[in-house]
Amino acid sequence: MTEQTLADRMGLAPEPAMPQHPDVPTWRMATPEDIDAMHAISTAAGRVDHPTWSMPREDIADTFEMSHIDHSRDTVIGFAADGTPVAYGSAFVHPSRDVRVQVDIAGEVHPEWRRRGVGTQVVQWQYAQAVRRLAESGSTLPGTVRAYAEGANDDAAALLERHGLRVQRWFTTMQRDLSEPIPARETPDGFVLVPYSSERALDALEARNDAFRDHWGSLPSAPETWQKFVGGPFLRPDLSTLVLDGDRIVAFCLGSVNEEDWAALGASHVYIDLIGVVRSHRGRGLAPLVIAESLRAAAAAGLEKAVLDVDTESPTGAHSLYESLGFVATERERVLVREF
């Protein structure tokens, strides 16, 4: 028997109707000329939802260059009568389709325009577009719609839950004071610690995808997306550490610095984007080793804190590991999912 496609399982998915709101007369699909408008909305929303960090303009601009993203189809933006950008919402298909087809929905409503029904309209469009994109895929794999909502933004979570998304995971932001001593750790025989360097980009991608293959919700990172990250303006190779077994990267700790966030957090800091150990080398103490080395590099660079995010239910025990290294939990974020 032929396996059913997502369209067979979900039914027809017509093109979603554009949002409508009496106070937001203009809705249209986004173009590159809207990058600043989207960033303005995101910045204002961030001051309320996650005041210790902000979305860089570069991150938004990068999405307009990704081959798997078509904002002219997958992002809607709304403007008030005077041209003020009010809200935007996106629904992007993840480029990896090895194990499932996933659509990530994201967006913001300017805080001054909340509690007026604008968010309801945006989420309704996002969800309808996500369902449409899943049905169009023609895939027989499972389909997933995924979204994030900050711990302080219960309203966003409630809007998503109206469309059948449910909280499946919580992530915690943790901080460490780099003025506190960083315990020395001995490198096991046969391994070498080196800073990250650009010529190791593809090797690091291979290590990342191996290390995260069994992590909840993780999909392989595509070369294009990966290059935007490691080749972008924020990654700090001098604060990023690799563990080598011969020529193979077997553990990594990659950190970035966005000085625009220092005032918001109240301290200069490194954000640790990724920590991982390939599956064949787990249980050898490489994770605390590589983290400690990056922490020492950040402290030597004069930074005051280190920040990271962790899955609170990670089976690798990451949360406990970070606590043992001096990290303290601060904010929380939930992941909401609907599966088909």
Residue 51, token pair as written in the block: 């005041």
Distance CA 228, CA 184 (A): 33
Token couple for 34: 């809207």
Q: Is the pLDDT at 104 greater than 70, yes or no?
A: yes
Tell me the per-residue pLDDT of 167-195, one tens digit each, with 9 for 90 and over.
Answer: 999 999 999 999 999 998 999 999 999 99
pLDDT of residue 299: 98
* Helix pair 201-211, 223-230: axis angle to 10 deg: 110
pLDDT given for residue 73 in this prediction: 96
The amino acid sitting at 250 is V
Most distant CA atoms of the chain, gap in Å: 68
| Three-state SS at 202 | helix
What per-residue confidence (pLDDT) applies to 315?
A: 65
The pLDDT assigned to 11 comes to 84
Asked if 159 and 293 touch (Cβ cutoff 8 Å), the reply is no
Q: Using one digit for the tens of pLDDT, what is the confidence trace for 34-70? A: 999 999 999 999 999 999 999 999 999 999 999 999 9
Asked whether residue 14 carries a pLDDT value surpassing 80, the answer given is: yes
**Structure confidence at residue 312 (pLDDT):** 87
Q: Count of residues for the chain?
A: 340
Whether 2 shows a pLDDT value over 80: the answer reads no
pLDDT score for 50: 93
Average pLDDT score over residue span 255-279: 97
pLDDT tens digits, one per residue of 305-315: 999 999 988 76
Min mean pLDDT across 55-64, 98-107, 153-162, 305-314 is at 305-314
**Rounded to an integer, what is the distance from CA 327 to the centroid of its chain?**
20
Distance of alpha carbon 24 from alpha carbon 186, whole angstroms? 60
Tokens linked to 300: 């030597």
Q: In what order do the strands lie in the sheet with 143-150?
A: 26-29, 75-79, 85-93, 101-109, 143-150, 328-339, 166-177, 305-311, 269-277, 248-256, 241-245, 191-195
* Contact (Cβ atoms closer than 8 angstroms) between residue 273 and residue 310: no
Q: Read off the DSSP letter of residue 3.
A: P
Q: Average pLDDT for residues 213-224, to the nearest whole number?
A: 93
Give the amino acid at 98.
D
Cα gap 57→62, rounded to integer Å: 9
The SS3 of residue 21 is: strand
| Reported confidence tier of residue 1, pLDDT bands at 50, 70, 90 | very low
**Average of per-residue pLDDT across 249-277:** 97
Q: Can you tell me the mean pLDDT for 234-259?
A: 98
Q: How far is CA 181 from CA 10, 58, 143, 292, in A?
A: 55, 34, 46, 10
What beta strand segments (E) does 94-225 contain?
Answer: 101-109, 143-150, 166-177, 191-195
What are the tokens at 230?
């490691």
CA distances from 45 to 4, 54, 59, 153 (A): 41, 9, 16, 10
- Coil/strand/helix, residue 289: helix
pLDDT at position 13, please?
A: 78
* Residue 294 in this model has a pLDDT that exceeds 60: yes
| b/e code 25-35 from CB counts within 10 Å (16+ = b) | eebeebeeebb
Structure tokens at 120: 């309801």
| Closest by CA position to 182, among listed 267, 300, 283 | 300
